[in-house]
Each structure stands twice: as C-alpha cells, then as structure tokens.
Amino acid sequence: MLSGAAASPAAGAQPGAPPNAGQKPDAVLRVCADANGLPQSNSRGEGYENKIAQALAHDLGRKIEYTYFPQRMGFVRNTLRARDEQTQQFKCDVIIGVPKGYELTATTQPYMHSVYALVVPAREDLKDLRTADDLLKLPPAKLHALRIGLFAKTPASDWVLQNGLLDHAVLYATQSGDPKETADTIVERDLAAGNIDVAIVWGPIAGYIVNRHSGPKPWTAVPFKPDPKIRFDYEISMGLRNGEKDWQATLDDWIAGHRPQINEILTAYHIPLVESP
C-alpha cells in the first residue's frame, strides 16, 4: 500500500475544493467509511463520523456520497486511493477518522483526543471503581477472579501484562471474519452473558456500549489516566491523499472553526475526551 504514487489535486479544481471537483457538475463531499462500523459510522448515518461529515458537507454547501468498505486491512486502498473504473475519478476524498500522523494518508489537525476505558457492568463489588487503578486495589482474591475482555495488540494487552493479569485476560482478535461483528457487539454480548467481568476498549467504543446498554442498571465507562509506560490516549484527525494541500487547508480551517460543534457531537456519543493543551 505504501508503494502507490501520491495523488495530487485534479487540474482545474478550485482552491480548497475536493480533488474531484470540476469532474462532475454537482458539489459533492465524497466520504470513505465503514457501512457497519458503529459508533463511528454506518450506512444509515447513525455514527459520530456520519454526523461530523454531515456538518462538514452542510458548511461546504455539498451533498454527501459514501464509498463503503470494512475498516480493516485494505480500507485505504479500496476507498481513498481507489478510482472508479469508468470515470477514473477517485471514489472518495476524505476519511473522517484516522489516527493523527497515520502512515497511509495525509492527516489534518486532530479534532478528537480520546483514551481507552474500562467498561464496568452494574455490580456491587465493582461499584467503587473510579479509575483503572482502582481495579488493581481490589482484594487480591477478588482481583484475580476477574475475567478481563480485551483486544489483542492494543494498550490493554500491555496493561494486563504489566500488572500480572495476563492469565485473566479474555483475548479477542482485532479483526473478525464477519465485518458486521464489531468490537462493541462482541464486548456487549460477553458482558451481558457474564463471560467477562470487565472490558478494556477504545474510548468511543466504551462510551457507545454503556450508552446503548438497556439493562435495569447502567454500566459505566472508566477512562484510563496517563501512564508513563503505556500510551492509552490518541488524537484523531481526518485522512486525505498526500499532496492535496488546498483540500487539507479547507479541512483544517473547518475543524479549527467548528470545535464546539464537533465536541457537541462527540459528547452526545458519551466519548471520554482528553483535555488537550
């Protein structure tokens, strides 16, 4: 994927316009997304990335068109870098959520700073958890009886290893063979069934799980605090093709001028946010 040539804006495009501008008479914001990737996005426009895309399109005076592909290996190649076989124009021009500095795309300034969190069900023995460290303060017999759900190759793996809890981890693969089987569905199902006692997941997923839980007692999301040995917090930007400087400037300007609106969307999804300097 890294060997592909970087694309530059289409000839004749106006400054700040999407790279495909001028190739069609209509004004369109072409978004690369996952059709089954809640809480980020889905084909019904129910994710927070969908809402951000809608706000962006509204302010740019464009309608939205989506190119969908499961957000896993091959996502960028099959969306942002892919061309329509007939028109030869790029299928989409922006990924609403990628890590800041993502190696497969150029990135805008970040618009979200979130952190991994514990998802804690409503249980009497876990009701006093306010931080992840509180979990480690449980009586040894209780702590070592817990089953902790987490995804392999994430900061959660490092955390259980660092704290001698690897034997109590229930490991999930980072990518399921079924694109409709997502992190939130896996964790919510196993917590509800009692297959795990707590889970460690990316903050937006934790917020989505606890907000969607419909049981008689609410679940809670307990964010991790900064750890000098393990990085739990990450900044999220928009992704675009390398070399599209005018389009990047347009997106950067929009993010900078709409932070309260973006934060309102994120908080509506109960995403734990980190205060950035």
Mark whether 106 and 190 lie in a shared domain.
no
Are 106 and 247 within 8 A, CB to CB? no
Higher pLDDT, 54 or 184: 54
Q: Is residue 274 part of a domain?
A: no
Mark whether 94 and 172 lie in a shared domain.
no
Q: Is residue 172 part of a domain?
A: yes
Q: Is residue 9 part of a domain?
A: no
pLDDT at 175: 73
Mark whether 88 and 69 lie in a shared domain.
yes
Say yes or no to pLDDT of 62 above 80: yes
pTM: 0.87
Distance CA 229, CA 154 (A): 14
Mark whether 106 and 136 lie in a shared domain.
no
Distance CA 89, CA 82 (A): 8
Q: Is residue 189 part of a domain?
A: yes
Mark whether 217 and 122 lie in a shared domain.
yes
The pLDDT-based confidence of 16 (bands split at 50, 70, 90) is: low
Mark whether 248 and 216 lie in a shared domain.
no
The pLDDT-based confidence of 128 (bands split at 50, 70, 90) is: confident
Mark whether 122 and 107 lie in a shared domain.
no
Say yes or no to pLDDT of 5 above 90: no
Q: pLDDT tens-digit profile of 231-259?
A: 999 999 999 999 999 999 999 999 999 99
Say yes or no to pLDDT of 223 above 80: yes
The pLDDT-based confidence of 10 (bands split at 50, 70, 90) is: very low
46 CA to centre of own chain: 14
Element (H, E) at 169: strand 169-172
Q: Which domain holds residue 142?
A: 117-223
Summary mean pLDDT of the chain: 89
Domain count, the chain: 2
Q: Is residue 23 part of a domain?
A: no
Per-residue pLDDT averaged across 123-135, rounded? 89
Per-residue pLDDT averaged across 115-120, rounded? 96
Mark whether 158 and 243 lie in a shared domain.
no
Q: pLDDT tens-digit profile of 92-113?
A: 999 999 999 999 999 999 999 9
Per-residue pLDDT averaged across 68-93, rounded? 93
Are 209 and 185 within 8 A, CB to CB? no
- 16 burial type by CB count under 10 A (0-12 exposed, 13-18 middle, 19+ buried): middle
* Eight-class DSSP state of 273: B
Mark whether 68 and 81 lie in a shared domain.
yes
Q: Which of 255, 202, 257 is nearest to 94 (CA)?
A: 255
- 120 burial type by CB count under 10 A (0-12 exposed, 13-18 middle, 19+ buried): buried
Q: Is residue 149 part of a domain?
A: yes
Mark whether 107 and 157 lie in a shared domain.
no
pLDDT at 73: 87
SS3 label, residue 41: strand
Q: Is residue 4 part of a domain?
A: no
Q: Is residue 14 part of a domain?
A: no
CA distances in angstroms from 86 to 28, 29, 83, 204, listed in the order given: 18, 19, 9, 38
Mark whether 83 and 148 lie in a shared domain.
no
200 beta partners: 118, 150
Element (H, E) at 149: strand 148-151
pLDDT at 2: 24
Structure-block tokens of residue 189: 């199902």
Mark whether 141 and 170 lie in a shared domain.
yes
pLDDT at 198: 97
List the CATH number of the domain containing 168.
3.40.190.10
Per-residue pLDDT averaged across 29-52, rounded? 96
